[in-house]
Amino acid sequence: MDHTWNVGDKIAAIVGVISFMQFLALLLTWWLMRDTSNKQLRSYLFPESVSLCDGTMLNPPDLNRAGFPGVLINIRNSGATPAYKVLHWAQIAVMNPQDERTLAIPKLSSHFATFVNAGGSVNKALWYSRRLTPEEITLLMNGQLAIFVYGKIEYRTLRKKHTTTYRVAYSGRFPPAQGVTFTFCADGNEAD
């Protein structure tokens, strides 16, 4: 049986191919809409601000921490859903700015996980392990030393794990003026 394609067969084949392509376009549109919706709804945690102080700047002043660099980190959820199983690790380092790439973040353990509501925030306070020496304070003012705060935030939202890493630095007068904040470094700041 010899079958040749007549005009009706050709039109049917073209309609079939176009219909299949429309079906693929519909699937792609659905997937993009779902992905966009998830991105709009999910949590986004990041350090909104990192403030520097020493013990004399507290209210009331803590003279036992005079000369110790202290930081207050405000982590904000700018997303539309809560973040669950939130883990946050941070560290202070005083070092030469040229050595900042040596700062390493350890693997986080799941102790003391918390949650952050949509639009909410949590704070973390840290103190450096010792007072700065007069020589370190001079080098800090000259920009030869910097106070670095670096950390990692892990959390879950919409059944997916997300990570934010950050690195900020400060050089200048110490103890600092009231309200001094850190500047984000060129490297070490990533979020997925």
**pLDDT tens-digit readout, 72-116:** 999 999 988 999 999 999 999 999 999 999 999 988 877 788 989
Q: Identify the CA nearest to 149 among candidates 132, 127, 118.
A: 127
- Give the pLDDT of residue 1: 58
Interior angle at CA 70, CA 66 and CA 76, nearest 5:
155
**Phi and psi for 111 in degrees, rounded to 5?**
-75, 140
Q: Are 74 and 47 spatial neighbours (Cβ–Cβ below 8 Å)?
A: yes
Distance of alpha carbon 117 from the chain centroid: 16
Q: What is the pTM of this model?
A: 0.78
Distance between CA atoms of residues 43 and 76, nearest Å? 10
pLDDT higher than threshold 70 for residue 166: yes
Question: What share of the chain has pLDDT > 90, as a percent?
Answer: 65
- Give the pLDDT of residue 36: 65
* Contacting residues for 102 by C-beta, under 8 A, at least 6 apart: 95
Which DSSP category does 37 fall into?
H
**Coil, strand or helix: which one is 189?**
coil
- Whether the link from the prior residue into 61 is cis, omega within 30° of 0, is no
Q: How far is CA 135 from CA 39, 96, 128, in A?
A: 48, 13, 17
* Contacting residues for 137 by C-beta, under 8 A, at least 6 apart: 174
